[in-house]
Structure 1
């Protein structure tokens, strides 16, 4: 009887989904805390701004083709 109880996997998938969901929520919470930092926000803003700008790394305007 004990072996039968230990081998029963009813609800195992549900428990795995719950653990994965909790890990995702924890990761999302960590990202929210990190993104509230002014330093991180400034770094990311500058990174996106430089990626979308038409200047080279030296600050000069890119030549028109």
Structure 2
């Protein structure tokens, strides 16, 4: 019984399914981030920040 319990609790790392789910989650996050960054409103805001930073006198 103890041997079976140890075998069930053993964790040798992630399985293929866990790697797949992690990869899919990372890809979904990347797509959402890309959509946000390339939206006109965000691009306009980023351009404004860059213009202000580049026009600042030292």
Q: Name the TM-score class by shorter chain.
A: 0.5 to 0.7
What does residue 45 of structure 1 align with? 47
What does residue 28 of structure 2 align with? 26
Alpha-carbon distance in 1 for matches of 2:47, 2:40: 10
Q: RMSD of the alignment, in Å? A: 2.8
TM-score, normalised via structure 2 length:
0.58
Bigger proportion of residues as helix: 2
The unaligned stretches of length 5 or more in structure 2 are none
Alpha-carbon distance in 2 for matches of 1:26, 1:5: 34
TM-score, normalised via structure 1 length:
0.54
How far has the Cα of 1:42 moved from its partner?
Answer: 0.6
Structure 1 runs (4+) greater than 3 angstroms displaced: 12-15, 21-24
